[in-house]
Amino acid sequence: MPRRISASSRRTRDGSAAGQQRGTFFNLVYALVRQIPLGKVATYGQIARLLGAPRSARIVGWAMHGNPYGSRVPCHRVIQQGGTCSPNFRIGDPDAQRRLLEREGVRFTLSGRVNLEAHLWRPDPARVRRRPAKRPGRRDTP
C-alpha cells in the first residue's frame, strides 16, 4: 500500500514545507483582517488582492474558517464578493454574521446585501504587508 504524504510533510521547490507556506499566508490574512475598522467590511477577493494573491479568495475563506485567534481577528467583517454574508459563517446560525455587522453599524440593502458604497474598507496601500514575490523557478531541461 503506498504511503500517504500529508500536506505538512510535502516539500516545495525551495525545500520549505507546503504547510509552512500556507501558515505564512494565513498569518498575513489574519494580520490584514485585524486592520479592518469597526463598521467596515472587506471581501475575500479584496483581501487576496491586497496580499498580492488575486486568485486566492477561496484560501482567504479557508483562513477565516480556521481562525485560531477567536475574536482578536474580526472574521465577521470579511464577506462575499457581492456584499452577501457567508452562509457558513456559523454553522446552525445563518444570521450570526449579519447580526454582528449590524451591531457595528453596517447597513444592509433591502436585498440583504451590505451597502458596499458606504462600508467597503479602502486601506492605505502603504500599510498593507504583501506576501513576498515568488522567485522565478529554475527549469531542469536537458
Catalytic residue (choose from 75, 85, 101, 114): 75
The tally of CA atoms less than 13 A away on the side-chain side of residue 93 is 7
In 10 A of CB 26, how many CB atoms?
18
The tally of CA atoms less than 13 A away on the side-chain side of residue 134 is 10
**Please, which residues have CB within 8 angstroms of residue 19's CB and are 6 or more apart in sequence?**
7, 8, 9, 10
Tell me the residue length of the chain: 142
85 catalytic? Reply is no
Annotated catalytic residues are 75
